[in-house]
A and B are shown apart, each in its own frame.
Chain A
């Protein structure tokens, strides 16, 4: 198995606060890797360091052999790393279809393409691709609807479709089921399971242990900016350190 993403010795401080301390992580190709940890453990900071939103104080982030630090978000996207946001980042004024068409265009056109005289209506291939992506998440029936008007759960699914249509090497999912009702959560788990066999590598940041244990091949536990454990779900489940730091509080859930 080859390594897709390697995080080496990453440190990040905000003011006097140490958010990440010497974090090392290797993500294997094709695997679903979950990163868990209590609130404020540094999960989001770690994610932001991967996708170019934050620049770590030290350490390296290597993706497919390329150094990612200091790269622009769109360069990281085209390198094959795509993030699905925790609070839905969609285009609320546009239709669902257009929301998915845009990432599809990004995949095809690159970071910039000047084609003002090409008609959108002639983009059959993109159109079909977008409709398939919407169908994947079960939103194809409402493709003409305004993205701002759909439910929060649907927005999350729309975002997932926007990520999936780019067919990335690595998909970063930031709490994909946060704020969802149980029913929606289950649907999302099913959906993620379904796409598992496409061979896409995934990182999932999640609170919900049910989701983590149903999806992850490998779990890393982050607490106070440090990785305290890493291993298969079973190993993590039985790790006393993890239990103490984290699971103990949430087992009753």
Chain B
């Protein structure tokens, strides 16, 4: 599975892959318009969770180690970024950089402990450590995290660097910026998109490096790796830290585009979400996790917002009786029923496409290619006949 995708991609040049990827990402505001998903917040979420999932995939997709506590690094990244905004400057660059660094420290710590075990024991260790962090952040660590309310900016924050640089005291809260560029709206999306492209590039490089091959080999047969002369622990730990840093970056960007950090970002359900995204899209593939992100975030934001009124608008070209019937059926699956639809989707995808959406894509392209070659051969046969 992994290999076939790898080879499929290696047939093309890295640079052309990157070119296509960058073009697709940066033009997302245009081609997502017909889906109603072209507004800045959702675009930012696509990019940010894309980074999160790409990072998670480096650990899970390559080494097969299923972490159930990756959201901790997302949360840590967010808290770090908001604290940098509060204490130092509203410029997002130091915040994002520090988010990655602090997340790396946490990942090193949690990874060092959890990687002493493998299989489900590893998963439970990460889960337990993450839940501990979440529970503490929600309650006793409130002075640092603001607990349930979430850490927010306040007009009383010192912001030492900004005040040193003489940013005048303004009424209301300052906004995050990248050397003056606003982090909300489309510019915020492009800022995140650049990081997404960078993250994808790093992931691509890792997938195609000797290091990446060794990680895949660990997933394939860890025992053999030991006897082949590799100490697998540092490989796993480095992959864990890298993916933790990606999550930290995503957390930092979340805070950069929307300066709030809440404890629920670290809850097990948040960790579970990235697992589901990755598997749904196709773990171990380069693009799969991004597709998973797209589907789940789209459901969460667009499907949940549909209600009977909006459904009626969609179906109003039909005769009333048919429209009523369709509305009465579909409204079960949208709005408050979006969870139901998501659950059904999970089941359908995994039953029929064990490799996730990417497997579906693979089947489709293979079918398409086969058809094309059949068509060609038919034509040549016909040509042969006519001659």
Contacts and interface: CB of A to CB of B under 8 A. Distances in A.
- Chain B contact patch, size range: 20 to 34
B205 A102 contact: no
Contact of A91 (B1, B10, B217): B217
A84 to B, nearest CB: 10
Contacts of A107: 229
Given A92-B221, A121-B10, A112 B229 contact: no
B208 A120 contact: yes
Contact of B210 (A77, A85, A90, A120): A120
Interface stretch (B71-79, B155-163, B231-239): B231-239
B229 A93 contact: no
B208 A89 contact: no
B206 interface: yes
A98 interface: yes
Given A91-B221, A117-B205, A123 B210 contact: yes
A118 B221 contact: no
20 contacts: A73-B226, A74-B226, A74-B230, A90-B224, A93-B216, A93-B220, A94-B3, A94-B216, A98-B3, A98-B213, A101-B210, A101-B213, A106-B229, A110-B229, A113-B211, A115-B211, A116-B211, A116-B242, A118-B210, A120-B210
Interface string A80-111: 00110100011111110010011101110111
B2 interface: yes
A51 interface: yes
Contact of A102 (B219, B228, B238): B228
B221 A90 contact: yes
A83 B223 CA distance: 12
Contacts of B380: none
Contact of A116 (B205, B228, B234): B205
Contacts of B229: 74, 77-78, 103, 106-107, 110-111, 166
B209 interface: yes
Interface string A118-130: 1111010010000
B252 interface: no
A93 B1 contact: yes
B248 interface: no
B237 to A, nearest CB: 10
Given A106-B229, A111-B229, A162-B228, 5 more contacts: A51-B227, A77-B227, A91-B221, A105-B213, A105-B214
Contacts of B223: 89
A77 B209 contact: no
Contact of A115 (B202, B210, B230): B210
Nearest to A108: B210
Contact of B3 (A93, A105, A112, A118): A93
Contacts of B3: 93-95, 98, 146
A121 B212 CA distance: 12
Contacts of A14: none
B71 to A, nearest CB: 24
Contacts of A162: 228
A120 B224 contact: no
Interface of A: 51, 72-74, 77-78, 82-83, 85, 89-95, 98, 101-103, 105-107, 109-121, 123, 126, 144, 146, 162, 166
B224 A89 contact: yes
A95 B213 CA distance: 11
Contacts of A103: 228-229
A95 B223 CA distance: 18
A82 to B, nearest CB: 8
A123 B227 CA distance: 23
A116 B230 contact: no
A74 B231 contact: yes
A112 B231 contact: yes
Nearest to B220: A91
A111 B211 contact: no
Given A93-B2, A115-B209, A118-B209, A106 B228 contact: yes
B225 to A, nearest CB: 8
Contacts of A85: 227
B231 A105 contact: no
Nearest to A53: B227
A112 B210 contact: no
B210 A109 contact: yes
A111 B1 contact: no
B38 to A, nearest CB: 34
A57 B209 CA distance: 42
Contact of A119 (B1, B205, B224, B225): B205
The 10 lowest CB-CB distance pairs between A and B, nearest first, are A77-B229, A106-B229, A91-B220, A111-B231, A112-B234, A73-B226, A89-B224, A116-B211, A116-B206, A93-B220
Interface in B358-376: none
Nearest to B232: A74
Residue of B1, B210, B225, B242 with most chain A CB atoms under a 10 A cut-off:
B210
Contacts of A166: 228-229
Contacts of B205: 116-117, 119
A202 to B, nearest CB: 17
Contacts of A89: 221, 223-224, 227
